[in-house]
Amino acid sequence: MGLLSRHTPEVAGKVASNRVRELARLSRNVIVQCPICYVNLRRGVKLSGVEVNLYDIAEVIEVSG
């Protein structure tokens, strides 16, 4: 979704929103490793209105370590 958001932001927003809805069906707490994915999914959370707690893997490691 990195290049997609640069060239067609409206499509990237729809993809991110759909992915957030899919993830929310599995868990309301999502850990992301990729910084670009984190940014795109954060945008998807805002656009979709779905409540998902999105965490970067570094945040999780910092808290648990």
Mean pLDDT score, 18-40: 95
Task: Considering only CA atoms, give the Rg of the chain.
Answer: 12
pLDDT at 38: 94
Residue 44 makes CB contacts below 8 A (sequence gap 6+) with 13, 15, 16, 17, 18, 19, 20
When pLDDT is cut at 50, 70 and 90, the band that residue 33 belongs to is very high
In degrees, rounded to 5, the angle at the alpha carbon of residue 6 between the alpha carbons of residues 37 and 21 is 40
User: Does the pLDDT value for residue 1 go beyond 60?
Assistant: no
Which amino acid does the sequence have at 49? G
* pTM tops 0.75, yes or no: yes
Q: What is the domain range of residue 15?
A: 2-64
Cα-based distances in Å from 59 to 19, 21, 55, 63: 21, 22, 6, 6
Number of domains, the chain: 1
